[in-house]
Structure formats: C-alpha cells, structure tokens
Amino acid sequence: MSKVLEEAPDEEDTVPFASDPITSYHRTRNRPSMVIRALGITTLISAAALMAAGPTAVAAEPQQASGTAPVAGTAAASASVPPGLTVTNGQRYTVNAGDELDVFVWGEERMQRAVLVQPDGTFAFPLAGTIRASGRNVSDIAGEIRERISLNYRGAVPDVTVSVRQATGMRFYVVGKVRTPGSFSSGTAPNILQALSMAGGTADFADVRNAVILRQTPHGEVVEPVALNKLLKGRRALEAGTLAKPLPTLSSGDVLVIP
C-alpha cells in the first residue's frame, strides 16, 4: 500500500492542554522515555566531539607534586645538617674527629645507624668499608658511601643520607688574658671575635695588638697574627661597608692566644 498511515498518539501518553481548533499541544506523561532519549543524544554528541578531536585529545596525567620523597634507589646521595650547624657566608660545615653522624640508606633498615668519627678522622660502614670523614662535608661523605655500596646492587642504588647528630669534634681553645679561658665547642667555624666572646671577652691589661692563632696543620703548628686591636676599636678604626678581608676563623684544634 502506498498510503502512509500515521499512528495517532496514545491517549494514555498525552493529554491536551489547549483547545485551539487550529493547533493542539500535548504534554508528555512518559518522562523516563524522555530522559533516556536526552541521554542518548548527549552521548552521541560527546562521541562526535572526541572523534573530531583526534588522537591528541588525551587525558592529562597527574604530575607528581614537587617536594615529594624520592623513590628509593632513583635519587642521588643526599645529606643534611641541622640548622644550628649551618655555616654562613657560603661555607659548609666540615666534619671533625669526634663528631657523631647519622647515616641512612633508603630501604635498608640494617644500614641505618649512628657512627662516631674516630680520632684518625675515619669511620667504618657496612658494604662501604672505612670512610674518611674529617675535613669533608656531609654531601661528599654520602656520595662516597653510595658509590661504594653500588657494587653490591644489580639494579638501582638506594639513596644515602648523612647528617650531623652532634658536632662535638669542633673544639678550639682561647687562652691568655681573657675572662674565661678554656676549650670550647661549636657547630660552626667561629671567627676570632666570636671565639673571644665565648671566652667572656678580654681581661684587664690584655695586649690585643699581639694576639695570635696557633693553627694545627698536617705539617705542624703555624703562628698567624691577628689584628684584634683594630677590630675592637669599632668605628674608630673601621670604615662602614664590606670588610676588605674576612675575619680569620678557628678550625678544630686551633688556639687563640691573647697575651
């Protein structure tokens, strides 16, 4: 049959709400079917948009937040020094005999321990043997330990962290005409004014013009004169601005003599 039959709307599905003889509007009662149709149309539109975008429309992968702890075995050797041991003016604290260090190997509980730097400036560590520590900073020590233990790993080498637990090895002496002469320990290398203040300052009749430092070197003691008289005069002898020469500092075993 060539005649097309139009199916009349079901009376249960629609209800008239306008009595206009020309135009008749109907309100759909079957709401679930409308929701399904709407969802189907939305899905088709989304699929068409993805196809038009092509292979470049990929979801961005979440980036790892900065500052996250590195996975063991993938990062280089690290080192840390307590805030009280940080040396200013671009210097770094150097380990001395008698210092106590914390050595931590990531993922190896049996290789996490505190070590004491022996009088000869060395300490022993598992798989690494004897490590020379005196006169070096903790970063160098951590790097050497990681390099030595790498021979025992086929894959990635774990991280190594070295920190100073107690800096008892940095000990110097102030003697002569000062208020409290004796030995002193410090987490940093003090300059001559800081060392003098730790000894309580100069006593009466102190000859600051002839103050010297007795330095300990591998070749013996060396005498180094210091111009304390000019420094103690303050503005009368010093001009405003940057010092032409930095103040001398004391190393472990040095002696500041105030005659």
For domain 78-166, the CATH class is alpha beta
Residue 20 has a pLDDT of 45
Residue 155 has a pLDDT of 87
Report strand pairing: 122-125 vs 129-132.
antiparallel
Q: What is the distance between the alpha carbons of residues 90 and 99, in angstroms, rounded to a whole number? A: 21
Is this structure's pTM higher than 0.75? no
Residue 251 has a pLDDT of 86
Topology (CATH level 3) of domain 171-258: Outer membrane lipoprotein wza fold like (3.10.560)
Mean pLDDT per 10-residue section of the chain, whose length is 259 residues:
44 44 43 48 50 43 40 46 44 83 91 92 94 93 94 90 86 94 86 93 92 88 89 71 83 92
Residue ranges per domain, the chain? 78-166, 171-258
Cβ-contact 189, 181 below 8 angstroms: no
